Chain A
Amino acid sequence: VISSRRRPDIGLTAMRAAAAAGDNRASKNRGAPADGAKGEIMEIDTQPMWPAEAPHGTTAARERPLAVRFTGSGSEYFRIWIVNLLLSIVTLSLYRPWAKVRRLRYFYANTLVDGHAFDFHGNPWKMLRGYLLVGAMLVCYSVAGRFSAMAALVALLILAVLWPALLRASMQFRLANTSWRGLRFRFNGTLGGAYRGMLPLFVPALAMGAMRFELVDPQHPTMTYIKHIYAIMGLTLLVAPLMWWMFKRYQHDNYGLGQWQTKLGVGPGSAYWLALRILGVALGSIIVVAVIVGIGGAVMGGAAMMSGVGVNKVVTFVLIAVLVLIGYMLVLMVPVPYAMSRAQNLVWGHTSCDEVRFDSQLRFDAMFKLTLKNWLLMLVTLGLYYPFAVVSFYRLRVESITPHLSGNLDQLQAQGAGIGDASGDAAGDLFGIDIGL
């Protein structure tokens, strides 16, 4: 049972100090379980210094953190997932909207902020329409690509032009159908804003499309053509952090609940700084893995030479292959969790509105350990561990976010509802873009 003991306002300073102390200890003592620091905060947190229900009309100046908890379990999500999967296959995927509603309802009903769960109101019949629409579009797109390059280009162009609108519709639908304490969320992003947010991506894409006309003889590309291609690729890499930031700003400037409207208080400079750090971590891990694989390979090669050619050849080959595989996985498993944790902390740590300030303390070491564990168990169980992996990732990511409230929740009021189109939601799902609240 989850009790919603609200943190006492006067305890806040003490708690911050405790949190800081806990953090220090954890970083000094890397071997200790990551929960150590958290547990300590929790103890202080749960001291009932205040009645369970905060008195109405507390002054707006005081700030209190709202605890975020996920109470779902991997084993229960496994049961939901497997039945969803079976029904989706039996119905040739027509069941997917119902599966999605069940999945979202389960995750929402178990995500408690300040003791109150989220709720999902999406209508699966509406979502089916959107799913079919987007599915038909994608089938047309992939079929067009098989028959002629020109048709593929046209289809891609149509998709690219529609994409920002679909994305916006998807976020409108998702937020309008999500509620907390009975109030529906809103996504206030404009259509123009969606296109402006995607602008950095369109510039290199258009340039790339224009380049096709420059190419007279595809068999013998000219030197200038190749130079231009490299220039565009470089440009794309250069604008990638800006693009990411603009997209995040488009999202985080437009979330609304009642009178609240969030704002992203961080500039593109931080995105570039983050991209540099991620690049550094990626390069660093590649170097470390290369050195380890190199030394390991040399040692094994030497051992094989000593013990006579031919005898251990196969064993050595297999060992080197395993070593390379491990290296390959490590190269992916260090930068990806690093990027995910730092990106979440950057974006959510700088999201706020009048009365709520978000904070995100997603630790890299926790993400790394979980990624490693999930991968291992996914391989061992041939993928059946998937729902457990999803739940554990979700829990780690969502519980690391803390909203700090300085207003009065009872004064929060609905501002009139707008409900998005379900086809947008299906598009967001198919393309893997989700707002991950």
Chain B
Amino acid sequence: LYISLSNTPERGDGSAPSVPRGRAARTVSSTVISLGIVSLLTDVSSESVAAILPLYITGVLGLSTIAFGFLDGLNQGVSALVRIGGGYMSDRYDQPKWVAFTGYALAAVARAGLLFASGAAALTAVITADRIGKGIRTAPRDALICAASAPEILGRSFGVHRTLDNLGAAVGPLLAFFILLLIPDGFHTVFVASLAFAVIGVVVLGVLVPNLRTRTRTNTDPTGAADSVQPKRRLHWAAVTAGPMRRVLAAAGILGLLTVGDGFVYLVLQARSDFAALWFPLMYVGTNVAFLALAIPLGRLSDRIGRARVYVFGHVSLLAVYLVAAMPIADVAATVVCLVLLGAFYASTDGVLAALASQLTSRETRGTGIAAAQTVVALTRFGAAAGFGLLWFAVGPETSMYIVAGLLVVAIPLATAILWPCLSVTRPLDEAAHPDDDEEGSGS
């Protein structure tokens, strides 16, 4: 599934420019909205091309797409590793906006390349550049969301961002297919539209999003516009891999290993139900719509009851998906329920994990922390998909689903135990440690 695994939350202390601390902070920052619009535009851009690329490759270039599927897998891996680098650079130079900008700009340049690419080799280069851009930008972008948000509404801020993000992912393919409906051979028009949206996204980011810094300033200017930053220092990995973050990475890794990917769920449904077979090409749309509808409510819930709690219990939704998919129910309701539950799973884990990671890291290590959590999730899910593929052919689709469901039944309590100390925390740990900061909300 295409869900972006890379998002970072930010808490608002010190670096929050426009959001008052404490109970007054009830409104999602305009910076978060702007970043959401940047993501929306960029997703319209990338998803419009992604949706029609297989048609273009087979129908126009006359090639098999088989190899491109493999390429996509490879790129996901590259993207996960680049992501860590993006998070680290963002922290190291305390320039999340411009690191993110580099990633978005690279994707826009790749779109321009698409206008001139004609063969398989050129297309490969363009797709890879696009993926690298995505890897670079995700963690610093999430660090910015964090920096712009009051800690009390971090989950909600990420929910708003993810909603806009997925709206773009839903609109992009529709726009592309609409263009092809009007102009059946209008692939180049889609490429031009994609470039246009990418450029607008980059400009919105460059011009409208403030250059928030995540690092503590010597000056406490609450608008965050001040540039007086502490001297740069080397990042200590221990800050990310020790303490509570270690627990998050462990829990995310364990749960990620049991997240086998939507493709398999869709295939199980498709093999059993005529309805699902007919609508197979559209299943990801259903999941996407459920995700965008639930991202804000579940984000808000995470602000109230704790991000780790929502993150872990979101996997109950995934468990239900496995069970419903494996049970011999061949009707429309089973398919629809599966898609809604999958959307709920992504809505309770994607932005929420970023919020969780950001509240458990210091300002100096936030980008790296978020990137680390997302990379762990991406890599373990990749491993899960590969391992599940083996299981699938060894024991069959339904049995494999039951096996993974059984393991998840064990893993959810295990992850709960690992995350126990931070289960209901809704405020940054380092803030909660300040005696003057106790007015609300840290873990009960």
Do A and B assemble together? no
Residues of A within 8 A of B (CB): none
